[in-house]
Amino acid sequence: MLISINGGRVTDYKKFAETNQPFVKGAKGYFKANLYPLAFKTTKYECWKAAFQNATSFNDYQEWIRKNRFPIMKKWVETYCPQLIVCVGISYLADYKIAFVDEGLSFHTEMIDDRELNWTINMNGTIVVVIPFMLNRYGLIKNVSIQKFGDRIRELISQ
């Protein structure tokens, strides 16, 4: 999707990745982070219980992150004023709002190819978009849809 946001075609993603090297150590222009730093293939409670049942509950972990990590992430947005924040996973919309969106603002929702694009613009000009996960049949998996999402995000940037 990054290539379409930058004006290219998603079918040319390999060339874009080789040239721009997003998320490669030392490369400039892109930053990647997870809201919740412990990696899971799924956030279902059963998986949490099996992996960390002696440490804490998943709800306790989420609350701790919301209270302690999200304010730091919001401060990064205020300090560094990124042009764009792309968040992946509609089910985490409320968390993305806490972590990245100015108080009093809400998301606009648009449908593109029967998939949700949520976006807002912070007071400092940072655009925050939330897109579906890019997997499974309910996600953003078709090149044509990924292209449309990227094109729309590029329009938001150029407004």
pLDDT at 117 over 80: yes
pLDDT at 51 over 70: no
Of the candidate ranges 39-43, 84-88, 100-104, 115-119, the one whose mean pLDDT is the lowest: 39-43
How is residue 77 annotated by DSSP?
A: H
Above 90 in pLDDT, residue 154?
yes
Write down the pTM of the prediction: 0.89
d(CA 157, CA 151): 10
Residue 145 and residue 153 in contact, taking contact as beta carbons nearer than 8 Å: no
Looking at per-residue pLDDT, the higher value among 130 and 38 belongs to 130
Collapsing DSSP to helix, strand or coil, 124 comes out as coil
Mean pLDDT of 68-82: 96
pLDDT band at 41 (very low <50, low <70, confident <90, very high): low
